[in-house]
Chain A
Amino acid sequence: MKQRMRSIKPQRTTSGLSRRAFLKSTGVGLAGAAGVTVLRPRISVAAPVTLSMWSCFPEIEQFYKKAGDEYAKTHPGFKLDTLSADIRSMEQKIAAAIPTDTGPDLYDVSRNIILSLADANLVPPDPPKVMGLLKSSAFHPSVVEFNTWKGQVYGVPFLEGSKPALYYNTKMFKEAGLDPNKPPATFDELLTYAQKLTKKDAAGNPTRAGITLRLVGQGSGIAEKFWYVLYAMGGDPVVQTKSGKWHNNYDNDAGRAAMKFYIDAVHKYRVDDQKLPRDTSAFVSEQAAMHMREADVIGTLKEKGPKVEYMTAPIPRGPKRWGGMTQPYSIYASKGKNMEAAWDFAQFLVSPPMALKLTKEVGWLSLRQDVDWAPLLKETPQYKPFVVWDKGRQIYAEPLLPAWDEIESKMADRLVTAYADKSLLDNPAGIAKTMKDIAAQSDEILKKAGVYGTD
């Protein structure tokens, strides 16, 4: 039986129901619902419903299933069908399914797809009761802003996808004579500490990175790590003008300072090298002393590097502001007969007990502010910089821009080349030119997308 009759729409047969059978049951349902609507008393228990949910995060799927079971306790007859695959493949799947009406009732996905779907009117904006939740103290106002596109808010903020912190190996700190309770607070200190922590061979080549930076690889990873530094220096990859146009904001002192940080790190102080093992695996296998990365490393270390002694600290600040970034993922409901039920379940998924459960069991962070994290922090104090939002600390997210992916990818490719360019060492003119060229490319893309403007 339907929970509440919305407009009758042609249905996708997600459960394999044949068209005819479905139409028949719709007919019966209509008649029944008409009767019920006329006579109905106030029912507080929702009628049974099955929701289909697609996720881009295979490891969170189990969380969704468990949340579904929890929810079913207070909503008898509720069933959740989940499906997941890696994010790139799921993006393709959602891009194919939603416009053709063969999509799920609920899904999580990156924001860039949502923009295009919203333009095509395929994602419903948040209904009033969801907006109520968003505007309350449950979420930081910036988070709501991050989910706003063309004046409408979409989705229920669910996951913190990319908030990084600084991981540091306390044993190596002690060995190098550094106080493990005083992690570096600025990027300058970061470089100084890194020099003390790097191990080099006779020829001066680093064999253990003082800090492992993302120097090679592809796409968003490279760019994101660059933003941590860029924001701290006072720049942004792109910035929006008052009239709603966009242009780059790193062909300036901030951008040059950020690039100088990398060039100095790699070529002057040699605290990291393209040939060294990188990133999480380097930190886990103790090939690097420091590492800036999201909260997943905590889970990885528990499983694959239980003997590593480490602590976490917030991303350092630069001369102008704090570094780091955020990447909110939201849960979206689809237009369809189950939309109401979908919104309700989505709100349940972001409730404080579920938020705690998410981090404890899967190691992902919720975007909710009003959760009591004490039980979590008692067990794993390393979560502190991830779940606590320091007052006065700036929050940055990737801009809501359809051309963003292209800007990011193409910029990343150029950054990799720049990092490897020894000629940029102690060469302010060279760095200035490099940043100018990369920025010109970003502007080009904005121009092609028709959103470029400087006023």
Chain B
Amino acid sequence: MSPQAEGRPITPVQRARETWWRRVGMPLTTHTVLLAGCVAMLFPYLWMLGTSFKPPDETMLWPPRVLPIHWTWANYPKAMDAAPFGLYFFNSLLVSAGATLMVIATSLLAGFIFGKYQFPGKRLLFIVILASAMFPFETYMIPLYLTMKSFGWINTYQGIAAPYLIMSFGIFLMRQHIAHGIPDELVDAARVDGASELRIFLRVIVPLCSSAIGAIGILAFIQAWSAFIWPLLMATNKNMFLMELGLSTFQFRFTTEYHLLCAAAVLNTVPMLIAFVILRRRIMESVALTGLKG
């Protein structure tokens, strides 16, 4: 990075220019680009947010506006009254949290096994796991529904959570992370020390998977939280509805009550945002590989 290393003499002018670039120019361009991107990213969300504060007669304005002319807070209480969102929130939380934990646990174990071991049938089994994620869910939804019925799991939390309890992508990601991010030497060393495979898993591998756990956790949470058709199929009573299902309360046959829908949608995004903020730190922690020189 330093010009000295390249063996060239530098002039004060050059040095000044480089410093300016490093201190001001680059960050400036970077921030500009990022901010421009942010506008694009945020725009639809802003529209949604703005519409949630509009009175009903402003939702169909032409030309449309992002921000309301007359701000109103009434949509939020109205939206929450339209359906028992408190209950839906609890249901969604239970299902999503349960799904997230299961996904993390299974991904860790399977990711470790596929990442650090060789055994007959390994390739085939891994392909099967990955391939099962390629098959569109809506096609095997009905046979799965029949299975759930035979278990007596219709209209139960476990039935609703079922398809979200495992995630092939989770296993895949964990496997990549463990296979390539955790040196074999660590595992071998632990083995030499006499640790059982299970011990190695719990004491060596899991602590080093922080960032991947965070990433998979978020994805699993979001997948369960934004589920729609399966929870609808499984619920025979409104008491078992999830948040996303509650949103369809505002979607009528011919029109949609945008102002209420947006208010409810904003409320729906908040938990996922919180989950993201919490898990983000985990993801950003870099794995500290002490004691291992290359």
Contacts and interface: CB of A to CB of B under 8 A. Distances in A.
Q: Do chains A and B directly touch (beta carbons under 8 Å) in the complex?
A: yes
Contact of A85 (B62, B152, B155, B248): B248
Interface of A: 12-16, 19, 52, 56-59, 81-87, 89, 92-93, 96-97, 100, 102, 104, 161, 277, 280-281, 284-285, 287, 294, 296-297, 300, 303-306
Interface stretch (B21-29, B52-60, B89-97, B278-286): B52-60
A305 B60 contact: yes
Given A83-B241, A86-B253, A285-B61, 9 more contacts: A13-B152, A14-B155, A58-B249, A58-B250, A81-B237, A83-B237, A85-B248, A104-B236, A284-B60
A96 B146 CA distance: 9
Interface string B214-255: 000000000000001100110111100100010011111111
B154 interface: yes
Nearest to B255: A300
B204 interface: no
Given A19-B152, A100-B149, A102-B149, A14 B251 contact: no
B261 to A, nearest CB: 11
A304 B258 CA distance: 11
B57 A81 contact: no
B142 interface: yes
A58 B249 CA distance: 5
Contacts of B142: 96
Which of B235, B241, B253: most chain A CB closer than 10 A? B253
A57 B237 contact: no
B45 interface: no
A277 B155 contact: no
Nearest to A279: B254
Contacts of A296: 252-255
Contact of A280 (B149, B156, B235, B254): B254
Contacts of B149: 100, 102
26 contacts: A13-B152, A14-B155, A16-B155, A58-B251, A59-B252, A81-B238, A83-B237, A83-B241, A84-B248, A85-B245, A86-B248, A86-B253, A92-B233, A100-B146, A102-B149, A104-B236, A161-B253, A277-B62, A281-B60, A285-B62, A287-B62, A296-B252, A296-B255, A304-B60, A305-B60, A306-B57
A296 to B, nearest CB: 4
Contacts of A300: 254-255
Given A13-B152, A285-B61, A58 B232 contact: no
B145 A89 contact: no
Contacts of B59: 304
A85 B154 contact: no
9 closest Cβ pairs, A-B complex: A285-B62, A296-B254, A59-B252, A304-B60, A85-B248, A14-B236, A303-B56, A304-B57, A83-B238
Contacts of B249: 58, 84
Contacts of A294: 254
Contact of B62 (A86, A280, A281, A306): A281
Contacts of B62: 277, 281, 285, 287
A57 B142 CA distance: 23
A contacts with B: majority SS: mixed
A15 B156 CA distance: 10
Contacts of A56: 253
A270 B250 CA distance: 36
Which of B60, B233, B250: most chain A CB closer than 10 A? B60
A304 B232 contact: no
Interface in B14-60: 56-57, 59-60
A119 B56 CA distance: 44
B237 A305 contact: no
Which of B149, B154, B254: most chain A CB closer than 10 A? B254
A84 B238 CA distance: 8
B251 A83 contact: no
A455 B241 CA distance: 51
Interface of B: 56-57, 59-62, 141-142, 145-146, 149, 152, 154-156, 228-229, 232-233, 235-238, 241, 245, 248-255
A96 B233 contact: yes
A82 B236 CA distance: 9
B155 A83 contact: no
B252 A58 contact: yes
Contacts of A280: 254-255
A122 to B, nearest CB: 15
A58 B253 CA distance: 8
B236 A92 contact: no
A296 B241 CA distance: 27
B74 to A, nearest CB: 14
A428 to B, nearest CB: 36
Contact of B236 (A19, A102, A281, A303): A102
B87 to A, nearest CB: 13
A218 B249 CA distance: 23
B232 A59 contact: no
A52 B236 contact: yes
A134 to B, nearest CB: 24
Contact of B232 (A89, A161, A303, A306): A89
Contacts of B248: 58, 84-86, 89
Given A12-B154, A86-B248, A92-B233, A57 B253 contact: yes
Nearest to B252: A59
A97 B236 contact: yes
Given A81-B238, A294-B254, A303 B57 contact: yes
Contacts of B235: 83
B146 A89 contact: no
Contacts of A304: 56-57, 59-60
B141 to A, nearest CB: 8
Which of B142, B145, B154, B229: most chain A CB closer than 10 A? B154
Contacts of A161: 253
A449 to B, nearest CB: 22
A258 B104 CA distance: 60
A81 B156 CA distance: 17
A96 B145 contact: yes
A268 B186 CA distance: 78
Nearest to B56: A303
Contacts of A83: 235-238, 241
Nearest to B138: A92
Given A58-B251, A83-B236, A305 B57 contact: yes
Nearest to A294: B254
B232 A93 contact: yes
B69 to A, nearest CB: 14
